[in-house]
């Protein structure tokens, strides 16, 4: 093997045109390895592979391919997937499934025997899911078996069915689960007798406009010397979902609710999620309550935990609370006159808690998310940046404090629990991030001799806040962090700069929260050593790992559907021009975000016809070899919609440049 040759292991990302890139496991390599189509071997998109790579020569390569590494795949270590989704087609007497994803360069042969061809004929043209029984080969079709019929290509629900199947999200509840949910009843005197009664308290729920399941209600009392008493009431889902029941097993399997722009796939059936467990206004609801006495510096001076019953005074939205507190809306202030003092105390306390978290060094990202706006007929009107206001911050701070207080209480009581953990970032990844950040004039200032403290990142965030490179650097910083997860062991929570943290405040939509409710209730009732609790404790490692996996799958599915909405929104705008700014640069092009709409897309380097552009890794930009024109993160550009791929949920743009046609001829 030549001295310059590297042996790379990683995941293959294949382009529909045949070439691809190996994303290396080793972060020190710095960039992906280009694989020409004729050097793919038997590898397919998503496979875990071994490649031999060498530095590219600086001349004699296609435009946009210079620099970096180029290689050849020599081994497939693991298939990228064991099933695919595609369209069932027939060629002569044989049925095949053509993958919807154009990066899959193969078709799957469906073997048929006996009467099966007749049934396959009835399914011809439908979208199906296929389990692969053999791997794709360079010359051979893999074999497969149809495991589910998802529907017709023109079915309005087909994208949801495809995404949910791909990420293992059940669309229906089993009959046994639904029947069990229907047997649940409103709480009676017996259920209320051993609970603290907070029904006379001015508790309210504050959620988004489209929310239907209300996990939490809050209220605040003002004490002497600038102190507060905060009540956080959380739906007692465990009362209706016994350990080991059909409801519990289904909730454990799902792990979390999934939220799409126009619908939700709940963890629990609607009878519970939007009815009996939901803290609907003016209805008696069973809850688990955390009472915290908070000092003027934000520290918790004392806490109490109990089973309770509440009756929410109002179902408030973030927008309404903002208009009451910040906009001083006279109509809303009159309507909620009895709650005004509550809201003002909430805002004051939330500001104290935010200041305390920042003081201890918590890293606080405030990245915008896409939000769909609909017209009166239900069609997508626009895709905009979601608004986060002080009302969001109030609930966020109260839930963070409740979660941390519960975790500290359970840990100090020496009972097993599921922690929400966030380990310290990998030093190599942080150094990679810092190299890029320094090019923009930002450096991490260490406050500790070894490793990093969350405060180091917080200070950098404050420096680039409001700058054009803020979003890009925030995403890069997040990528240098490890992903938060659930664990029965506790390395602490780096991002929040706290030793103990858990999830307690959303048991309607997160299974780990339901587990924490059971642990806390067992501690309150002094039955933490019963056989049932012992069995629960033994399963905590398994539950933690599964819940972390389901959370990741739900997030990926939510992003996938949002990308589909963006692609559908732009599909009728091919040829239209928009102002945009560059949010990320790669060797093969750059990502842009439109100014008029909150839509992202990609500008391939091949569309930059006014020059030969190469990736300047040192300055993280694309530079024209002759004009020295460069595209940096944060630059504003004018782009045209060139291509929309609905199946892959991708949008391609090209840059509008002066004299493009003349220069394009010169390079042909």
**Per-residue model confidence (pLDDT) at position 248:** 98
Q: How deeply is 661 buried, as exposed, middle or buried, from its count of CB atoms within 10 A (0-12, 13-18, 19+)?
A: exposed
Query: pLDDT for 288-316, tens place per residue?
Result: 999 999 999 999 999 999 999 999 999 99
Q: What are phi and psi of 378, to 5 degrees?
A: 90, 0
Q: Is the pLDDT score of 431 beyond 70?
A: yes
What is the rounded average pLDDT of the residues 631-646?
90
Residue 194: both structure tokens together: 């051993």
**Per-residue model confidence (pLDDT) at position 663:** 38
SS3 558: helix
Pairing assessment for the beta strands 94-99 and 6-14 based on DSSP bridges: unpaired
When the pLDDT of each residue in the chain is averaged and rounded to a whole number, the result is 89
What is the rounded average pLDDT of the residues 653-661?
73
Residues 224 and 217: their CA atoms lie apart, in Å, by: 24
Q: Is the pLDDT score of 538 beyond 90?
A: yes
**Per-residue model confidence (pLDDT) at position 30:** 57
Pick the range with the lowest mean pLDDT from 398-402, 455-459, 651-655.
Answer: 455-459
Q: Which residue, 198, 215, 406, 217, is CA-closest to 300? A: 406
Residues 299 and 492: their CA atoms lie apart, in Å, by: 19
SS3 341: helix
Strand partners, 515: none
b/e burial code for range 496-532 (CB count within 10 A of at least 16 → b): bbbebbbbbbbbbbbbbbbbbbbbbbbbeeeebeeee
What is the rounded average pLDDT of the residues 176-200?
92
**Per-residue model confidence (pLDDT) at position 583:** 85
Query: Confidence band (pLDDT; 50, 70, 90) for 198?
Result: very high
What is the rounded average pLDDT of the residues 40-68?
71
**Per-residue model confidence (pLDDT) at position 618:** 73
Q: Is the pLDDT score of 666 beyond 60?
A: no
Half-sphere exposure of 597 (CA within 13 A, CB side): 20
Query: Confidence band (pLDDT; 50, 70, 90) for 660?
Result: very low
**Per-residue model confidence (pLDDT) at position 17:** 78
Pairing assessment for the beta strands 196-197 and 284-294 based on DSSP bridges: unpaired
> What domains does the chain contain, in order, with CATH numbers?
6-78 (2.40.50.140), 83-155 (2.40.50.700), 175-423+487-561 (no CATH), 427-481 (no CATH), 572-666 (2.40.50.140)
Residue keyed to tokens 């038997």: 42
Residue keyed to tokens 């004299």: 659
Q: Is the pLDDT score of 369 beyond 80?
A: yes
Query: Confidence band (pLDDT; 50, 70, 90) for 122?
Result: confident
Q: Is the pLDDT score of 428 beyond 60?
A: yes
**Per-residue model confidence (pLDDT) at position 235:** 98
Query: Confidence band (pLDDT; 50, 70, 90) for 54?
Result: confident
Pick the range with the lowest mean pLDDT from 154-158, 411-415, 467-471, 643-647.
Answer: 467-471
**Per-residue model confidence (pLDDT) at position 658:** 62
**Per-residue model confidence (pLDDT) at position 169:** 95
Provide the percentage of residues in the chain whose pLDDT is more than 90.
Answer: 60
Single pTM value for the model: 0.87
Tell which wins on pLDDT, 101 or 72: 72
**Per-residue model confidence (pLDDT) at position 363:** 87
**Per-residue model confidence (pLDDT) at position 314:** 97
């Amino acid at each position: 093997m030549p001295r310059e040759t590297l042996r790379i292991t990683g995941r293959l990302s294949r382009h529909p045109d045949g070439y691809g890139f190996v994303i290396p496991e080793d972060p020190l390599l710095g960039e992906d390895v280009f694989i020409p189509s004729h050097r793919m071997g038997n590898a397919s998109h998503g496979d875990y592979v071994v490649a031999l790579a060498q530095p590219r020569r600086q001349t004699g390569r296609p435009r946009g391919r210079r620099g970096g590494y180029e290689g050849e795949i020599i081994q497939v270590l693991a298939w990228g997937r064991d099933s695919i989704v595609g369209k069932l087609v027939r060629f002569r007497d044989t049925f095949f499934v053509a993958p919807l994803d154009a990066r899959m360069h193969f078709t799957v042969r469906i073997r048929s025997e006996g009467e099966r061809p007749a049934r396959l004929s009835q399914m011809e043209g439908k979208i199906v899911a296929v389990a692969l029984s053999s791997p794709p080969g360079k010359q051979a079709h893999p074999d497969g078996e149809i495991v589910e019929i998802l529907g017709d290509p023109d079915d309005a629900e087909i994208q949801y069915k495809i995404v949910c199947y791909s990420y293992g999200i059940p669309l229906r509840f089993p009959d046994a689960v639904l029947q069990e949910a229907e047997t649940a009843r409103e709480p009676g005197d017996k259920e209320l007798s051993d609970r603290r009664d907070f029904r006379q308290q001015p508790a309210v729920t504050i959620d988004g406009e489209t929310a239907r399941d209300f996990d939490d209600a809050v209220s605040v009392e003002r004490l002497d010397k600038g102190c507060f008493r905060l009540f956080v009431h959380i739906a007692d889902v465990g009362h209706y979902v016994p350990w080991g029941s059909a409801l519990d097993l289904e909730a454990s399997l799902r792990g979390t609710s999934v939220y799409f722009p126009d619908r939700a796939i709940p963890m629990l059936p609607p009878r519970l999620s939007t009815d009996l467990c939901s803290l609907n206004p003016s209805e008696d609801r069973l809850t688990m309550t955390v009472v915290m006495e908070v000092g003027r510096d934000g520290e918790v001076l004392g806490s109490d935990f109990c089973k309770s019953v509440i009756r929410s005074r109002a179902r408030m939205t973030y927008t309404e609370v903002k208009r009451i507190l910040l906009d001083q809306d006279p109509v809303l202030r009159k309507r909620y006159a009895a709650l005004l003092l509550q809201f003002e105390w909430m805002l004051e306390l939330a500001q104290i808690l935010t200041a305390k978290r920042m003081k201890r060094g918590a890293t606080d990202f405030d990245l915008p998310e896409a939000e769909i706006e609909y017209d009166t007929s239900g069609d997508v009107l626009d895709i905009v940046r979601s608004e986060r206001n002080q009302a969001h911050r109030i609930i966020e701070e109260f839930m963070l404090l409740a979660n941390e207080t519960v975790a500290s209480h359970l840990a100090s009581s020496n009972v097993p629990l599921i922690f929400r953990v966030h380990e310290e970032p990998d030093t190599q990844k942080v150094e990679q991030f810092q190299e890029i950040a320094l090019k923009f004039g930002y450096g991490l200032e260490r406050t500790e001799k070894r490793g990093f403290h969350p405060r180091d990142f917080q200070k950098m965030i404050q420096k680039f806040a409001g700058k054009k490179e803020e979003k890009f650097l925030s995403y890069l910083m997040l990528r240098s962090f490890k992903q938060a997860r659930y664990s029965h062991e506790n390395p602490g929570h780096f991002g929040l700069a706290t030793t103990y943290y858990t999830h307690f405040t959303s048991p309607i939509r997160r299974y780990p929260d339901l587990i924490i409710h059971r642990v806390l209730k067992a501690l309150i009732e002094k039955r933490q050593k019963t056989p049932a609790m012992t069995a629960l404790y033994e399963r905590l490692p398994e539950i933690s790992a599964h819940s972390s996996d389901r959370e990741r799958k739900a997030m990926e599915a939510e992003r996938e559907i949002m990308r589909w909405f963006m692609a559908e929104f732009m599909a009728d705008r091919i040829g239209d021009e928009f102002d945009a700014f560059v949010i990320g640069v790669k060797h093969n092009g750059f990502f842009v975000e439109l100014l008029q709409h909150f839509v992202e897309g990609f500008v391939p380097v091949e569309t930059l016809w006014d020059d030969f552009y190469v990736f300047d890794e040192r300055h993280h930009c694309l530079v024209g070899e002759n004009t020295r024109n460069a595209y940096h993160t944060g630059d504003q550009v004018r782009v045209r919609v060139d291509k929309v791929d609905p199946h892959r949920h991708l949008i391609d743009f090209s840059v509008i440049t002066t004299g493009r046609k003349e220069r394009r001829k010169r390079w042909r």
